[in-house]
Amino acid sequence: MIQEEQKIKILKSLKLRPGISNFNDELLKDLISDYFNDVAESINLSEGLQMPVGCINIVKELVVVKINRLGSEGISSESHEGISQTYTDDIPNEIKTKLRRYRRLP
């Protein structure tokens, strides 16, 4: 139940951010759940344990990255009338660095 409470806090926090408050709560809950589980698995967090506060911020950052990429998944480079955009399909390096701090060996 602790993890569910953390997910609700993440949702409330994300809804305060400009541009995210317009997104459907169900979509946000789904993304939060996916990334919460991914981060928990990455740091080898035992089921039912509270996620470290720093990892909560990582989950929020990952959800924001995913929201910003919605509709452009799989695009690695795009150019229109002199404007060029490049998207990566990986976790940004600054988030990977933060995540490594919390990783526990199995």
Number of domains in the chain: 1
Q: Please write the tens of the pLDDT for every residue from 77-103.
A: 666 677 766 666 578 889 999 999 999
This prediction's pTM: 0.81
The contacts of residue 58 (CB under 8 Å, 6+ apart) are 39, 95, 98, 99, 102
Give the contacts of 102 (CB within 8 A, at least 6 positions apart): 43, 52, 54, 55, 58
For residue 80, the model assigns a pLDDT of 67
Q: Which domain, by its residues, includes 19?
A: 2-102
Residues 59, 64, 70, 75: is their CA dihedral positive or negative?
negative
